[in-house]
Amino acid sequence: MVKSKQKREHVAWRDEIQAKFNPTGTAEIRRKPVTIIEEKYKTDDKFACPFCLSQHKFHEYLISTKKGIHQGLAECPECKNKCRFTTLTKPFTPEEYADHLYGQVRTGIWQKIPFDKWKRRLYNIGWASRFWTRYKELKAQEIDETPIDKEQEKQIEMDWDAYEQSHGGK
């Protein structure tokens, strides 16, 4: 009996349209609380998908779940890729966008992007030359990185040996 009573109370507590009485004795209906997302972001603005650069209103990116709107992820209505709200709403410059995409290369970002549409949109917003300049710089830096010197290598080996000894290794 106790379990069923607790269950009823819990269901009533979670009921968003349940009426409750205020101190004056009149009933007031509980309204659905405003989500964190609606408070934090301006929902009338358009945002560009970080994958395909398509621009849509904020509410079109929201993911509906059984429990309401997903509080952390957004899904592009066009390419169906998911990203965090912080990434979606971050105002990128072409150089920052190049850094962002280059940082995602190992996650298969170029397979997630519809390249022909993306390339056209990048050109249409006027970012193409600045983006590719920065992206090529990042690729060149990765290729030109010098190997670590002997002192750094010895320090790494000493640190590794100390780690193995402290964790019961050989």
Whether the predicted pLDDT of 31 surpasses 70: no
Instruction: Tell the burial category of 43 from Cβ atoms under 10 Å away from its Cβ (0-12, 13-18, 19+).
Output: exposed
pLDDT digits (tens, 9 = 90+) for 63-74: 888 877 787 888
Q: What is the pTM of this model?
A: 0.60
Sign of the four-CA dihedral 111, 113, 116, 119:
negative
How many Cα atoms are found within 13 Å in the side-chain-facing hemisphere of 78? 15
pLDDT digits (tens, 9 = 90+) for 75-100: 999 989 998 888 888 889 999 999 99
Confirm if 65 and 40 have CB atoms less than 8 A apart: no
- The structural domains of the chain, with segments of one domain joined by +, span 33-91, 92-170
